[in-house]
């Protein structure tokens, strides 16, 4: 059985006998609204109680640039300690830099590089132009559709 450390994400493979018992940890999920970042800490507010919680910015990993002011995300807690944060699956971003739209270039499988307003580079279809809003899948970090 593979066990995962909830605090640091490390994994451990462990063998158990059929008579052994393993306690399953129950995590509480809460909707939290992003307020601001300060000294590498992200400050969120519980949307029901208005309590504020600080979590390290590393909790989002490479998806951190997709966190937007006022965005509601899901934070998983174990005994009042925030252990994981999940962004919405789809986020709207604006293309700030890409090659110009080429008339007649509609091949479905051809993509071109683009830089988003949050600094992330993604591949977009040829019909997407600069200053255009697109939807990005935060799980795959890929273009999903036009906004």
Same domain, 81 and 115: no
Tokens of 50: 């208005």
Instruction: Note whether 77 and 94 are same-domain residues.
Output: no
Domain of residue 123 covers 90-146
pLDDT in tens, 62-92: 999 999 999 999 999 988 888 889 999 999 9
Domain total in the chain = 2
* 63 assigned to some structural domain: yes
Co-location of 39 and 80 in the same domain:
yes
CATH for 65: 2.40.50.140
Question: Of 45, 71, 88, which residue constitutes the final position of a domain?
Answer: 88
**Average pLDDT for 91-97:** 96
- Regarding pTM above 0.85, the answer is no
Look at the alpha carbons of 71, 63, 65, 142 in this order and tell me if their dihedral is positive or negative: negative
Residues 6+ away with beta carbon under 8 Å from 111: 123, 124, 125, 126, 143
């Amino acid at each position: 059985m593979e066990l995962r450390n909830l605090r640091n994400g490390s994994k451990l493979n462990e063998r158990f006998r059929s008579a052994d018992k393993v306690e399953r940890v129950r995590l509480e999920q809460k909707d939290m609204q992003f307020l601001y970042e300060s000294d590498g800490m992200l400050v969120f507010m519980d949307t029901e109680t208005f309590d504020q919680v600080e979590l390290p910015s590393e909790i989002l990993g490479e998806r951190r640039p997709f966190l937007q002011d006022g965005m509601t995300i899901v934070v998983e807690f174990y005994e009042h300690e925030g252990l994981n944060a999940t962004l919405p699956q789809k986020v709207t971003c604006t293309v700030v830099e890409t090659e110009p739209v080429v008339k007649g270039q509609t091949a479905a499988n051809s993509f071109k590089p683009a830089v988003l307003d949050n600094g992330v580079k993604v591949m977009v279809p040829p019909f997407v132009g600069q200053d255009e809003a697109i939807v990005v899948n935060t799980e795959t970090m890929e273009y999903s559709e036009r906004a």
